[in-house]
Amino acid sequence: MEEKNTKKLIQEFFKEAVIKEEKELITISEVKPEFEEFIGKKSPYKLVFDIETHNKIRDSELIMQGSYFLQAIRDYLNDKGETSKQKILIKPEINEIKIPKGYKVEEIKEEGLQYFAELTFLTTYQYLNEKKQIIRKTITKGKEILEIKTEDYKTQEGINQELENTGLDEEYKTAKNKLKTQINSETKQIRSHLREKLEKELERIRTHYHKQIKEKDEELERCEEKIKKLKSKLKHTYYDRDIRILTMLIKESIERLENLKKKSYKERLIAEEKFHLVDAIEKHVLSIKNSLMNITIFYYQTYELTIKKEGKTKKIIYDPILKKQE
């Protein structure tokens, strides 16, 4: 599944280059000079996805998590949303237009240009040892999300002079809101899974250190109790040899007790526990990163129809993509 997502990312990133895909190899040529300069290597690039194939094919790039080539793509994408324009070549179909009864179409002429934006985002989820990437495309016009399959239309590279610079603030905001909704929906299960794992890990750490602290407290208590017993026994001892032995044992026990108190086991264990609790929480955080890969502005011609009926003339403005008429 990870390899499939990675291939999708690569194909999307190099969509304007020439991609040749074979069984074990993807060859990419005619890459933009900007990327060639960024990565420090001219195309073509031979991309493989396993070490055995990498060893067989000379000058190939091994694509796997953490590989230099894949990281270079991600670094290049960061905050680099490029904008391009595509012109949709489309004529109105008369049978799609609602012509009032009795009217006939007298003339069809170009009325003006309309546009919509396709924004492509790369979302990276990272948590524990997992890393997941998803590419999403959203088509928007103002505050509206459009369900349009751009691949169904014939297009050509847009001409800047044909369509003046358009502000895409509203389209970007709309696409980001949709992205946020999608991410919230997708991460519900991941967050629930992480929460369960974190609770178990925190409980394990707390149990471990509770046991350790209790054992250290008990060791102090045992040492203090031993000293009391030895001192009590010394009071009822009359033989010099036994007195010397008991006195030595009491001295050793007191030194041990002082050492236990000096080392402050409890405070050190509490500090250790706090460190491991914070570390566990940080490891179970879900990291989400969104990068805008590119924006494509699609524009097209709308049309004005002149219709007549018994000397009466009406005008219809028709949008052949949205199938709307005024």
Instruction: With a cut of 70, say whether residue 250 has pLDDT above it.
Output: yes
Contacts of 264 (CB under 8 A, 6+ apart): none
Instruction: With a cut of 80, say whether residue 82 has pLDDT above it.
Output: no
The confidence score (pLDDT) of residue 264 equals 66
The confidence score (pLDDT) of residue 168 equals 82
Question: How many whole angstroms separate alpha carbon 69 and alpha carbon 51?
Answer: 15
In DSSP notation, 178-190 reads: HHHHHHHHHHHHH
Instruction: With a cut of 60, say whether residue 243 has pLDDT above it.
Output: yes
Classify residue 11 by burial, with Cβ atoms within 10 Å: 0-12, 13-18, 19+: middle
Does the predicted TM-score (pTM) go above 0.75?
no
pLDDT-based confidence at 262, cuts 50/70/90?
Answer: low
Mean pLDDT, residues 192-203: 90
Per-residue pLDDT of 104-128, as tens digits, reads 888 899 888 999 999 988 888 888 8
Find which of 23-27, 64-68, 249-253 is predicted with most confidence, using mean pLDDT: 23-27
Least confident of 55-59, 162-166, 184-188, 308-312: 162-166
Instruction: With a cut of 90, say whether residue 145 has pLDDT above it.
Output: yes
Nearest of 14, 64, 16 to residue 39 by alpha carbon: 14
Mean pLDDT, residues 174-201: 89
Instruction: With a cut of 80, say whether residue 179 has pLDDT above it.
Output: yes
3-state secondary structure of 199: helix
Sheet of 26-29: strand order equals 18-21, 26-29, 45-48, 60-62
The confidence score (pLDDT) of residue 219 equals 74
Phi, psi of 148 (to 5 degrees): -125, 135
Phi-psi region of 32 (alpha: psi -120 to 50; beta: other; left: phi over 0): beta
Contacts of 232 (CB under 8 A, 6+ apart): none
The confidence score (pLDDT) of residue 299 equals 92
Mean pLDDT, residues 281-297: 85
Mean pLDDT value across the chain? 84
Mean pLDDT, residues 234-252: 78
Mean pLDDT, residues 295-312: 90
Mean pLDDT, residues 41-62: 85
CA 66 to chain centre: 15
The confidence score (pLDDT) of residue 320 equals 92
Instruction: With a cut of 50, say whether residue 1 has pLDDT above it.
Output: no
Instruction: With a cut of 70, say whether residue 80 has pLDDT above it.
Output: no
Instruction: With a cut of 70, say whether residue 166 has pLDDT above it.
Output: yes
pLDDT-based confidence at 275, cuts 50/70/90?
Answer: confident
